[in-house]
C-alpha cells in the first residue's frame, strides 16, 4: 500500500461500508476503500452491476448490518433507509478531511461558487502556490488527494449537501457568497438549507461573508474570524463606483476586468479577501484576475448580431442567480426561463421581473406550473414557448437593437436536458444557427 492508502486503512472505519449513491464521488470512494482492504460495496437505486447492489432507499432495512455509510451528495438522507440506520454516516469530504494535511480554501453559496473557486485556484497557481481544484465543481476530492501529485493547498467548492456530513473539515479560509432559496425539494425549509451552509462558517478559521446578504450575516455569530464584503459604502471591502475597494482603499477599476456583471465583481473581491487571508498579497494576482473571462454557461456572451447580445447563463438554476444575471445587464432584456422548479417560490422571481426592464419573458420546459401561476398572479406577461428552438426564434423576432437576450432559467434542467450545460449548449446552437 502507498502512504495515503495506508492512512485510509488506519482510519479503521466500521465495516461493512456501504457507499450510497454511485455518482462520480461514490465510484472513487468505493474503489479507494476496497483498495485499502475494507469490506465495501456500492449501493444505488438504478445501477445493478459488479460491486454495486440495487437497493430501495425508502426501505427501512436497506442498510441493515452496515457499519459505515459513505453517502453521496445526490442522495436525500431524509429517506427511510437512513432514518432507520444506526451506522455512522459520513461522506467523501469527511474522508478527505481525516486524511489531508494541507491547507484548505473552501467556498459555498447558492450562486457563484464555481467562479470563485476557479479564480482562487488560478490566482494561487499564478502566485506560485500549487493548488488543486476539486469538490462540487466536478473533480471528487478523493481523486485529487490520491492522484500522487504534490499540492500546497486544496481549493474546494462545497454544496449544502456536502456540508452536512464533514465535521472534520477545518478550512484555513472559507467563504459563504450568498444564501437564497434553493434545493427546497431536498430540505424541509429555507432554514434547514441555510443551516447546512452555516456549517462552513462554524468550521473555518477565517470566513469571508457577504455583508449584503441577511442569511450570511446571521451566520457570523457561529464563526471565529469574520471578514465582510459587499456593496454598502459603510463596508471597507466593497464594490462601489466602478471600483473594488479593499480595506477602504480603491484597488482596482472594474472596467479593467474581462468578467462582467456586478455580482462577478463582488466574486472577485471575495477572491481577493480569501487570498489575502491565506497569505497572498493582492498585487501578486491582479493580472490573473483581470484577464479571467469566466466559466461556460455563466453570463457567457454567445453572439452579438444586429445590435442584440445573446447571453447564456444556463447555470442560473435558482431565482437568486437569475435575479443577479438580470441585475448585471444594462438595457432591455428578453428573458428565457423555465424548467424544474425545485419547490421554489416563484413569486420572488415575479417581484424581480416587475422591477426589470423587459422586452418579453419566454418560457421553456414542461414543469412550469408554479412559475406560470406566480407570473399570472403578479401580472407578468409571458409566452410559453415550450422548447428552446421556439424560444430562441421568438426572441429573435421581438428583440430590438440594443437589447440583450438572456437565458437565465431560474430552474433545474432535467425535464428536458441532462444538465444545465446541455441546456446552455442547446441555446448556443439555436442562437448561432439562426443569428446570421
For residue 216, give every residue at least 6 positions away whose Cβ sits within 8 Å of its Cβ, in sequence order, or none.
Answer: 176, 177, 178, 179, 209, 210
Residue 390 annotated in active site: no
Among 136, 178, 210, 264, the one annotated catalytic: 136
Rg (CA), the chain: 22
Answer yes or no: is 159 a known binding residue. Answer: no
Residue 183 annotated in active site: yes
Strands laid side by side in the 404-407 sheet: 300-305, 308-312, 404-407, 333-337, 358-364, 383-386
Cβ density class 389-399: b for 16+ within 10 Å, e for less? bebbebbbeeb
Nearest CA to 142 out of 291, 5, 311, 343 is that of 5
Asked if the bond preceding 296 is cis, omega within 30° of 0, the reply is: no
Helices (H), 110-189: 113-126, 141-145
For residue 29, give every residue at least 6 positions away whose Cβ sits within 8 Å of its Cβ, in sequence order, or none.
Answer: 19, 70, 92, 95, 140, 142
Answer yes or no: is 113 a known binding residue. Answer: yes
Answer yes or no: is 160 a known binding residue. Answer: no
Among 183, 265, 315, 342, the one annotated catalytic: 183
Answer yes or no: is 85 a known binding residue. Answer: no
Answer yes or no: is 402 a known binding residue. Answer: no
Answer yes or no: is 114 a known binding residue. Answer: yes
Bridge pairing between strands 308-312 and 300-305 = antiparallel
Cell of 28: 472513487
For residue 407, list its beta bridge partners: 312, 336
Answer yes or no: is 197 a known binding residue. Answer: no
**Cβ contact 274:208 at 8 Å:** yes
DSSP 3-state percent helix, strand, coil across the chain (nearest 5): 35, 20, 40
Is 203 exposed, middle or buried, given 0-12, 13-18 or 19+ CB atoms closer than 10 A? buried
Among 27, 91, 113, 199, the one annotated catalytic: 113
Residue 113 annotated in active site: yes
Residue numbers belonging to the annotated binding site for ATP = 109-115
- As annotated, the active-site residues are 113, 136, 183
Amino acid at each position: 500500500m502507498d502512504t495515503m492508502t495506508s492512512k485510509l486503512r488506519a482510519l479503521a472505519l466500521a465495516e461493512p461500508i456501504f457507499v450510497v449513491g454511485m455518482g462520480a464521488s461514490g465510484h472513487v470512494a468505493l474503489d479507494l476503500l476496497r483498495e485499502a482492504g475494507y469490506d465495501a460495496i456500492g449501493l444505488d437505486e438504478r445501477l445493478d452491476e459488479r460491486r454495486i447492489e440495487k437497493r430501495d432507499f425508502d426501505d427501512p432495512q436497506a442498510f441493515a448490518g452496515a457499519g459505515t455509510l459513505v453517502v453521496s451528495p445526490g442522495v436525500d438522507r431524509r429517506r427511510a433507509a437512513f432514518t432507520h440506520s444506526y451506522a455512522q454516516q459520513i461522506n467523501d469530504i469527511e474522508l478527505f478531511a481525516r486524511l489531508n494535511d494541507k491547507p484548505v480554501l473552501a467556498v459555498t453559496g447558492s450562486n457563484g461558487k464555481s467562479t470563485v473557486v476557479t479564480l482562487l485556484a488560478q490566482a494561487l497557481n499564478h502566485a506560485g502556490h500549487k493548488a488543486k481544484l476539486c469538490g462540487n465543481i466536478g473533480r471528487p476530492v478523493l481523486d485529487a488527494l490520491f492522484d500522487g501529485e504534490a499540492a500546497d493547498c486544496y481549493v474546494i467548492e462545497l454544496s449544502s449537501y456536502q456540508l452536512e456530513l464533514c465535521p472534520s473539515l477545518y478550512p484555513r479560509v472559507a467563504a459563504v457568497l450568498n444564501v437564497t432559496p434553493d434545493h427546497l425539494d431536498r430540505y424541509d425549509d429555507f432554514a434547514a438549507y441555510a443551516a447546512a451552509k452555516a456549517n462552513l462558517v462554524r468550521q473555518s478559521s477565517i470566513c469571508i461573508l457577504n455583508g449584503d446578504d441577511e442569511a450570511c450575516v446571521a451566520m457570523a455569530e457561529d464563526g471565529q474570524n469574520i471578514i465582510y464584503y459587499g456593496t454598502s459604502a459603510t463596508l471597507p471591502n466593497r464594490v462601489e463606483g466602478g471600483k473594488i475597494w479593499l480595506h477602504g482603499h480603491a484597488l482596482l477599476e472594474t472596467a479593467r476586468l474581462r468578467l462582467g456583471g456586478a455580482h462577478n465583481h463582488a466574486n472577485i473581491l471575495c477572491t481577493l479577501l480569501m487570498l489575502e487571508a491565506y497569505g497572498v498579497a493582492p498585487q501578486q494576482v491582479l493580472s490573473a484576475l483581470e484577464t479571467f473571462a469566466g466559466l461556460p454557461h455563466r453570463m457567457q456572451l454567445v453572439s452579438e448580431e444586429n445590435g442584440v447580445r445573446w447571453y447564456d447563463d444556463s447555470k442560473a438554476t435558482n431565482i437568486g442567480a437569475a435575479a443577479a444575471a438580470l441585475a448585471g445587464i444594462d438595457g432591455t432584456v428578453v428573458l428565457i426561463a423555465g424548467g424544474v422548479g425545485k419547490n421554489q417560490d416563484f413569486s420572488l422571481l415575479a417581484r424581480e421581473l416587475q422591477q426589470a426592464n423587459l422586452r418579453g419573458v419566454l418560457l421553456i420546459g414542461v414543469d412550469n406550473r408554479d412559475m406560470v401561476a406566480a407570473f399570472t398572479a403578479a401580472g407578468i406577461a409571458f409566452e410559453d414557448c415550450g422548447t428552446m428552438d421556439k424560444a430562441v426564434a421568438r426572441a429573435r423576432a421581438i428583440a430590438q437593437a440594443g437589447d440583450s437576450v438572456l437565458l437565465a432559467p431560474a430552474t433545474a434542467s432535467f425535464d428536458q436536458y441532462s444538465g444545465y450545460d446541455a441546456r446552455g449548449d442547446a441555446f448556443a446552437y439555436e442562437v448561432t444557427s439562426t443569428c446570421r
